[in-house]
Amino acid sequence: MVSKTDDIPASVPSCNPAELADGASKTLAKDPCDCGHSANTTMMNGDGAHEHMEEAESKQDGNSDADGTAETNEQEVIVIQDTGFTVKIQAPGTEPFDLQVSPQEMVQEIHQVLMDREDTCHRTCFSLQLDGNVLDNFAELKSIEGLQEGSVLKVVEEPYTVREARIHVRHIRDLLKSLDPSDAYNGVDCNSLSFLSIFTDGDLGESGKRKKKGSDLEQIDCTPPEHILPGSKERPLVPLQPQNKDWKPMQCLKVLTMSGWNPPPGNRKMHGDLMYLYIITVEERHVSVTASTRGFYLNQSTTYTFNPKPANPSFLSHSLVELLSQISPAFKKNFTALQKKRVQRHPFERIATPFQVYSWTAPQVDHAMDCVRAEDAYTSRLGYEEHIPGQTRDWNEELQTTRELPRKNLPERLLRERAIFKVHSDFAAAATRGAMAVIDGNVMAINPGEETRMQMFIWNNIFFSLGFDVRDHYRELGGDAAAHAAPTNDLNGVRAYGAVDVEGLYTLGTVVVDYRGYRVTAQSIIPGILEREQEQSVIYGSIDFGKTVVSHSKYLELLDKTSRPLKVQRHNVMNDKNETVELCSSVECKGIIGNDGRHYILDLLRTFPPDLNFLPVDGVELSAESQRQGFPRQHRHRLACLRQELIEAFVEHRYLLFMKMAALQLMQQKANRESNKADTPTITEASETPKESKSDMDTTQNAARDCSTATDMSTDSTNQTDDATTVASQSITHSEESSLKPSINGPLNPTGTQNGECKGPLEGKELEESIPGLTRAKELAETLVAEDGSGIDPKSREVVLNACKAVGSISNTSFDIRFNPDIFSPGVRFPEESVDDIQKQKQLLKDAAAFLISCQIPSLVKDCLDHSALPMDGTTLTEALHQRGINVRYLGTFLEYVDKTQAKAQLEHIYRIGITELITRCAKHIFKTYLQGVELSALSAAVSHFLNCFLSSFPDAVTHLPPDELVSRRKSRKRRNRVPGGGDNTAWASLTPSELWKNIASEAQSYYHYTVQCESVDQVVEKYGLQKITLLREISIKTGIQILIKEYNFDSRHKPAFTEEDILNIFPVVKHVNPKASDAFHFFQSGQAKVQQGFLKEGCELINEALNLFNNVYGAMHLEICACLRLLARLNYILGDNPEALSNQQKAVLMSERVLGIEHPNTIQEYMHLALYCFANGQLSTSLKLLYRARYLMLLICGEDHPEMALLDSNIGLVLHGVMEYDLSLRFLENALTINAKYHGPRSLKVALSHHLVARVYESKAEFRSALQHEKEGYTIYKNQMGEAHEKTKESSEYLKHLTQQAVALQRTMNEIYKNGSNASIMPLKFTAPSMATILDQLNVINGIIFIPLSPKDLENLKAEVVRRQQLHEIGMSEEPAEDRSLELEDKIPVD
């Protein structure tokens, strides 16, 4: 357990949660019960406030914020007066000390602080008293009479109860285990690993002051381990988890466990005995301890005789720690040392993460006795259940009540979002635990008589079902394959409806868990649903895929509110009695009113429209583009649907098209009017426009293929019309983008990133120039569209009508595209009168499917080419696909496209990552069914056998099961109730490597329609340049395998790489909803927009505010907080506050390690940023260690051949140059040069810069010829790309002159020596040892950081320039010529 105040260092008594709102010193995990914590800043800084959701829509994009604030709701601007004050705490046995508190806090939080402080951490059972009155734990401090500055609070020991005694023992055990990483390895209690402190030797803040002498160069040992050097082929696994010296735990006790004499017999109960403990001290003293109401004391029991009388002396103590300190000197010494170390660790190393993170590698950990762990395993305790009245939690009630909390103003929304987030993360943990119990066979089914695959389970108020096709429910749709896909589709639906957040419409808590080859869906239970038949309860939708359909007016009213944001069209279907029924969702979506009177919707698996590319329907012709690529293709099931991101992008694309067409027609009319023609031609012309516009559309679609489309700006382009896209859809895409963005290296915010590329359907500036009045016409068009079509003259209305028809809008007066999710659903029939409408809808679906192939995939490839998308591993590649709305089933298509691209060499890294992802996903599919046939006792043998077949070069991988075991296993099998789906339990043992690879190839063909040439792992590694260690990482993460961390010899042909001892564990892979902190996110976005515009200070304030709000909702650990901290650090750095940058970036690294994993691509990025700030702070050796760590991790996850490696190597080379390690420096810089030349093309500016860096090192080595050679290369590139006049070209030519002079001087000296021998008069040569400042300048340049010389005039110019660019972008043209694009270094203010 980690208490909320874990991060208050004991050494700073005056520091307290509420006061940390300035975000400077620490951030806190908040308890779900308090609100408005970070309140001593005004909640609204007047600017950025407009991001209250309704207002956010009408804005053009994040940039219009400063002006838009005037009209914000009054109630938004709430200033919470929060002046902290100091109280004195008097605890028995310690000196009184001061504590900062805030009026918003609860008394309980002071309790937490005391339980974490070094000198009071051993107390749990006490009350706080003010003038003899006991304070209520749940009272806010401001409500307590007489509590003021300087009041003295007394800590008074209270008598124990059984519950309090248990809490005390658990707390002591937590303190004893606080440095032990085994919980992180075992994936329990939301612990996870972090290794940063090993590389920084503790906390960076202090070490900055301590190690000032670190900049004396002599002391730094810079030589990296062999495997990190460029060109090394070794990929060791052991360094992934360096040994932490703090983890060799200091032993305080040998054993602390519940005694076998529990519970106390009646007569002892009446003496106040609560429970008995059995303890063995380090000195081998065996003692039996009684926990009584008055405290803990030694009794006279032994292992075999019960004698509860107090021993003599009994050492009665109120706390167990005090008792043990008296009887064991070793305990006293080690416990004190342990607590010192505990409070020195960075809080972020100890705070629990919101969702469990699992590690795919672990060392062999000794299994120690642990009473609390043993007890937890057999109770259904989740979190701290036994302390909650009423035992098990009613998850459904909690999930729905939090949704019903008020949300009128900011404090209310914060409270609501925090409650929602907390309940969700608790529910996800409970559901995961339950799903594992179900598959491990520890839960009784509610229908035990049925066949195992059909069983359903209830545990802890959660309903569990298995992902098999029960009772042929999905027979039409693809059987088990459909049953496996349905839960994730359903989860996406739950996520979408949850994000729209309509009052009065409820969804179920849903978590999908893949564990040991089974897919389990966990759902909260609708009150009363178990008592009645499903037929009676469903009052909306259909339970048999559309044969019988019912509807309900209340449901239609509620769902209608979601139809616009989710782009769902209201439509009619026929039921079995041939009556027309109106629906506003797919037929499978069922509405049930629970016994609690709430309107629930469930089975949301078809929230989004079907994907026709993977749904062959008789008599349906797809677009030419789709057919050319070989679509439609057969898929495993018929539930393939388009992603929400694709729908958003498609609608956005259509909207731009619509505006363009309206504008063109208006201009035509205007031209006609001006040439004073009669009216008739105008009308005929107008009526012909649809034809024109149709062809027009085709041209645009073709154009869209060549020029990058506007799709990428998923929600930032021109959303003037309120109808176009509403609140929720925007907040969804934005929030999704943000959560994905950190892992991709580009700028974090959607608005800034793609502006350069939105030429889109306007086909760049040619069109603009050819039609002078276009912008004016566009404004006209916008005004037309903004009004609802009334009060506009008929001609203009006709314009809108034509444009609407052309883009497939469902309304004739405004732009409004929605999809009917039931089209092409087998079994759904539509009434006669809606035939036209259905045709329209079918066309729309074909267009959307074509859009994915002809626009989205090419745009992703283009982004990969210009490095705005930089996936490093499978996860980040998947995110990049998903962000653009491309499903992973298109992976094969994507790879084919990459393969056909002319610049294929520059996409090699993407191709390699894609092939790795494809192969490991195929292996995962096979592994899933493979595991289902394995019984528990053979699990590790089966997994190691599978990995051997998959990765080991050993040709005949045999299982390690002795034959008799196989036999006895087969005999005993018949008598056992088997876990779901068990087949012939030893069939798995016959798998061979060649068979597995054959299956992988055929899976790739049938699922991804991609041909992988592979008969063995070695052939694949050879052909595609993959790494076995990367394949191992990807398959382990995808399937939840945890392996022993050691060096594996994959290439031995004599023995298999894995034995069953190497498989340590198998974890669940969990999918769940991530609730969002909307207000915080809006602040974050307006902060980013400010920074983009060059208002760094204001941006910084907004982002600090966002950080406070994020902390308020999520607690201290969350992915979005990580992004926030990283941006803050970058701003601190640009604004010259290095120590603050260091502190924020350190938090970002720790958080990324803890929340995403120690070798996640995002973590690698964070390490690189931290290294830069360390260097700027004069901590050179730390900086190098961090860079080496980043390089090692990168080699592990994607190998050396990756564009990001060039940046990393340039960083390493520069730092090494700075510490005068020239030869090493050259190895890294030359490698960077090679990679840059490969991925950016030999004439790119990056390559020129690389040449320059190499030249400088050669100059330092006095090897002027090589230096000149490289600088000339660089000079040539600058001259060709930017012309003679550009300052870069001039700089380069100056440097060339300087080098030539140096070279000439050296040559003279040498000649002098040859001529006159030793008595020559030698001119002293000026060798330049690089200064730290020049190195830092170069580091800033390569990392894209520009320090702006901030004279007021410069600032004005900069702002003017930014404004000018924005105007250009808004018109839809970007005037930089293409080559100029690569100049981003110089001309954009970088935002991470």
Q: Tell me whether residue 939 is exposed, middle or buried, using C-beta atoms within 10 angstroms of its C-beta: 0 to 12, 13 to 18, 19 or more.
A: middle
Question: Is the CB of residue 462 less than 8 Å from the CB of residue 428?
Answer: no
* Residue type at position 825: S
Report the chain's mean pLDDT, rounded to a whole number. Answer: 80
Average of pLDDT values for 1356-1383? 53
Own/partner pairs, 698-707, CB within 8 angstroms, 24+ separation: 700/657, 700/660, 700/761, 700/763, 701/625, 701/850, 701/854, 703/761, 703/763, 704/653, 704/760, 704/761, 704/854, 704/855, 705/625, 705/854, 705/855, 705/858, 707/759, 707/760, 707/763, 707/764
pLDDT at 672 over 80: yes
Please, which pLDDT band fits residue 375 given cuts at 50, 70 and 90?
A: low
Q: Tell me whether residue 792 is exposed, middle or buried, using C-beta atoms within 10 angstroms of its C-beta: 0 to 12, 13 to 18, 19 or more.
A: middle
Average of pLDDT values for 441-461? 90
Q: Tell me whether residue 721 is exposed, middle or buried, using C-beta atoms within 10 angstroms of its C-beta: 0 to 12, 13 to 18, 19 or more.
A: buried
pLDDT at 1391: 37
Average of pLDDT values for 456-461? 92
pLDDT at 785: 58
684-697 pLDDT, tens digit each: 333 343 333 444 44
Report the C-alpha gap between 850 and 1128 in whole angstroms: 41
CA contacts within 13 A on the Cβ side of 171:
22
Report the C-alpha gap between 828 and 541 in whole angstroms: 12
Please, which pLDDT band fits residue 5 given cuts at 50, 70 and 90?
A: very low
pLDDT at 1247: 95
- Give the residue, 936 or 1323, on which the prediction is more confident: 936
478-509 pLDDT, tens digit each: 899 999 999 999 999 999 999 999 999 999 99
Go through 623-658 and write b for each residue having 16 or more CB atoms within 10 A of its CB, e for each that does not.
bebbeebebbbebbbbbbbbbbbbbbbbbbbbbbbb
Tokens at 1058, concatenated: 């894995």
332-370 pLDDT, tens digit each: 999 999 888 888 888 898 889 999 999 999 998 777 776
pLDDT at 714: 36
Of 37-41, 92-96, 810-814, 984-988, which range is least confident? 37-41
pLDDT at 981 over 50: no
Average of pLDDT values for 1235-1256? 94
pLDDT at 1326: 55
pLDDT at 249: 66
3-state helix, strand, coil in the chain (%, to 5): 55, 10, 35
Report the C-alpha gap between 401 and 394 in whole angstroms: 11
pLDDT at 1203: 95
pLDDT at 410 over 60: yes
Tokens at 764, concatenated: 């760049």
Please, which pLDDT band fits residue 1365 given cuts at 50, 70 and 90?
A: low
Please, which pLDDT band fits residue 878 given cuts at 50, 70 and 90?
A: very high
297-308 pLDDT, tens digit each: 999 999 899 999
pLDDT at 572: 93
Report the C-alpha gap between 1191 and 1206 in whole angstroms: 10
Please, which pLDDT band fits residue 711 given cuts at 50, 70 and 90?
A: very low
Of 282-291, 421-430, 752-761, which range is least confident? 752-761
pLDDT at 350: 85
- Give the residue, 260 or 1367, on which the prediction is more confident: 260
Report the C-alpha gap between 121 and 95 in whole angstroms: 14
Report the C-alpha gap between 308 and 158 in whole angstroms: 23
1191-1229 pLDDT, tens digit each: 999 999 999 999 999 999 999 999 999 988 999 999 999
* Whole-number percent of the chain with pLDDT over 90: 51
Which range in 62-71, 435-444, 516-525, 628-637 is most confidently predicted, on average pLDDT? 516-525
pLDDT at 1244: 92
pTM of the complete model: 0.82
Report the C-alpha gap between 1157 and 1135 in whole angstroms: 30
pLDDT at 1328: 61
158-182 pLDDT, tens digit each: 999 998 999 999 899 888 888 888 8
Residue 196: C-alpha distances to residues 201, 338, 1128, 1197 (Å): 8, 20, 19, 18
pLDDT at 487: 96
pLDDT at 756: 33
Beta-strand relationship, 152-157 and 85-90? parallel
Report the C-alpha gap between 1276 and 1308 in whole angstroms: 28
pLDDT at 1378: 34
pLDDT at 947: 95
pLDDT at 860 over 60: yes
Of 70-84, 310-324, 804-818, 1373-1387, which range is least confident? 1373-1387
1271-1290 pLDDT, tens digit each: 999 999 999 998 888 888 99
- Give the residue, 36 or 1053, on which the prediction is more confident: 1053
pLDDT at 1080: 94
Please, which pLDDT band fits residue 773 given cuts at 50, 70 and 90?
A: low
Average of pLDDT values for 271-293? 93
pLDDT at 698 over 60: no
Residues 6 or more apart whose Cβ sits within 8 Å of residue 1203: 867, 870, 909, 1235, 1236, 1239, 1240
